Amino acid sequence: MCMLSTKATCNSHGQDSSYFLGWQEYEKNPFHEVNNTNGIIQMGLAENQLCFDILKSWLAKNPDAAGFKRNGESIFGELALFQDYHGIPEFKKALAEFMSEIRGNKVSFDPNHLVLAAGATSANETLMFCLAEPGEAFLLPTPYYPGFDRDLKWRTGVEIVPIQCTSSNGFQITETALQEAYQEAQKRNLRVKGVLVTNPSNPLGTTMTRNELNMLVSFVEDKGIHLVSDEIYSGTAFSTPSFVSVMEILKERECDENGSDVWNRVHVVYSLSKDLGLPGFRVGAIYSNDDRVVSAATKMSSFGLVSSQTQYLLAAMLSDKKLTKNYISENHKRLRQRQKKLVSGLQKAGISCLKGNAGLFCWVDMRHLLRSNTFEAEMELWKKIVYEVRLNISPGSSCHCTEPGWFRVCFANMSEDTLDLALQRLKAFVTEYYNIPEVNGHHQTIHLNHSRRRSLTKWVFRLSFDDRSPIPGR
């Protein structure tokens, strides 16, 4: 008889995905600019380290905030003792205003409708607990963040049904794909409770169009279901087209004024992990117009609170409008420059990307480097890049992409010198193994010939988890 619960022994966490396994390989041999220059460079982690200097400078100039003082007097005891799980009002107000500022103040957020959570992971799971029963389903467009298999499903029992998107239109959601996913859920006897999207998209690095957002709102309105918009990358939209929040769409459609039920069935998830680069602070939030969702989520938040010390510090930081204005502008500038550098470097290696305007990564097209148009070939290429090139990137199959050969490559979690080294390694790899000709300093994007494809099958891989490669579509 098993002495553990089914939850403890089930295999639905997703930890054996290549997305997480790549991290494990990196941790065995991590690159360091001084101590381990031959190690694996981490390009599978979407962290934003480009503007740490701005935050550090502010902290140096505002010692009271970091020292838990108010007007020079210590408030350590006040912060160390019990705090209501509704959150510190000053922080919720500052966070709501920051969310509005990121969106160009085109929409406003009521702090009373914000629920704090220990990061977006906790926020998304809490919403699933509020909106769906075990065995009910949410529709998600592919490719999607691999962690959703854990965040949305593992403890809640909620099912994910993919909305199949393809490169033919830049992976945009179509009405046909939406309807097909809905019908697929019905075939599986799953009651659909909603649609969840990431905007800007992780892993695509693109913002959703107004047409897509309007289509989604119309779809959930027609079906009588929920729409969850995960907008944790909203402050990373660094070039045109600009980011449009689903809340802006609701405002344009006058959903509140005309009494539409959809007003209470659209919910936003936010976090400071990506825009401010503070994943270690564990600050997430749910925004909902439904008082019942806010009430239930607030009660559930007691299982994943944001510390009072963190709230106090960030309340002071986000209330400084001079800081936030400068940070948002400079963050966009540095992300734009860094993304341009990655795209340019990949082009020199004969590799192209989906045109992106947001996020901390690029959706990179390596289909022409596959020995065959299969996910097995994608895994072969990925393993070669991890072990021989010593770069950890995320294969598209881990993101449930329907087309082999796409990879997510992060660019904001390392120094410029480290990115240069990563691009040098990749270019050398393409030159050595694929014999792609160089014209005017750029490798030309061509498809592999059959002899080269045959030679790739002779690779010897040392990974111990070959038999656990993710199955496309799961």
Q: SS3 string of the chain?
A: CCCCCHHHHCCCCCCCCHHHHHHHHHHHCECECCCECCCEEECCCCCCCCCHHHHHHHHHHCHHHHCCEECCEECHHHHHCCCCCCCCHHHHHHHHHHHHHHCCCCCCCCHHHEEEECHHHHHHHHHHHHHCCCCCEEEEECCCCCCHHHHHHHCCCCEEEEECCCHHHCCCCCHHHHHHHHHHHHHCCCCEEEEEEECCCCCCCCCCCHHHHHHHHHHHHHHCCEEEEECCCHHHCCCCCCCCCHHHHHHHCCCCCCCCHHHHHEEEEEECCCCCCCHHHCCEEEEECCHHHHHHHHHHHHHCCCCHHHHHHHHHHHHCHHHHHHHHHHHHHHHHHHHHHHHHHHHHCCCEECCCCCCCEEEEECHHHCCCCCHHHHHHHHHHHHHHHCEECEEHHHHCCCCCCEEEEECCCCCHHHHHHHHHHHHHHHHHHHCCCEECCEECCCCCCHHHHHHHCCCCCCCCCHHHCCCCCC
Are 400 and 272 contained in the same domain?
no
Are 261 and 356 contained in the same domain?
no
Confirm whether 117 is domain-assigned: yes
Are 209 and 84 contained in the same domain?
yes
Residues marked as catalytic: 145, 230, 232, 274
Are 182 and 144 contained in the same domain?
yes
Q: Which residues of the chain have pLDDT under 50?
A: 439, 445-474
How many domains does the chain fold into?
2
Global pTM exceeds 0.85: yes
Are 309 and 395 contained in the same domain?
no
What is the predicted pLDDT for the residue at 79?
78
Confirm whether 4 is domain-assigned: no
What is the predicted pLDDT for the residue at 124?
96
Are 109 and 234 contained in the same domain?
yes
Are 289 and 397 contained in the same domain?
no
The last residue of one of the domains, among 264, 294, 323, is 323
pLDDT digits (tens, 9 = 90+) for 45-57: 999 999 999 999 9
Q: Which domain holds residue 283?
A: 60-323
What is the predicted pLDDT for the residue at 16?
63
Are 373 and 286 contained in the same domain?
no
What is the predicted pLDDT for the residue at 462?
35
Confirm whether 2 is domain-assigned: no
What is the predicted pLDDT for the residue at 8?
76
What is the predicted pLDDT for the residue at 454?
36
Are 312 and 173 contained in the same domain?
yes
pLDDT digits (tens, 9 = 90+) for 308-359: 899 999 999 999 999 999 999 999 999 999 999 999 999 999 999 999 999 9
Confirm whether 118 is domain-assigned: yes
pLDDT digits (tens, 9 = 90+) for 232-255: 999 999 999 999 999 999 999 988
CATH code of 170's domain? 3.40.640.10
